[in-house]
Amino acid sequence: MVLSGGKSAMPMTQKEMVKLLTAHGWIKTRGGKGSHIKMEKQGERPITIPHGELNKYTERGIRKQAGL
């Protein structure tokens, strides 16, 4: 859930982050260690998403890496 100003009320989960990145052209690839998921996009560095709820700093870092 996103509030006005782009702030989340609840922590985003791995599943929600994968859905967001997929909507912006990122592709889920093989790899990633254990329960982590690796996503790639042409011309960008790969992003690794940890399992479970993401704390606000991890979420912010992933969004920054993805250019969102």
Report whether pLDDT(65) > 60: yes
Q: Is residue 1 part of a domain?
A: no
User: What is the residue range of 55's domain?
Assistant: 14-66
Longest dimension (CA), the chain: 36
Q: Is residue 28 part of a domain?
A: yes
Q: Is residue 7 part of a domain?
A: no
Q: Is residue 38 part of a domain?
A: yes
**Separation of CA 32 from chain center:** 13
Tell me: the pLDDT tens digits for 2-45?
555 555 567 888 889 999 999 999 999 987 678 899 999 999 99
pLDDT, position 30: 83
Q: Is residue 22 part of a domain?
A: yes
Report field, pTM of the whole predicted structure over 0.85 = no
| Torsion sign (Cα): 2, 26, 50, 47 | negative
Q: How far apart are CA 30 and CA 37, in angstroms?
A: 8
Number of domains in the chain: 1
Tell me the residue type at 42: Q
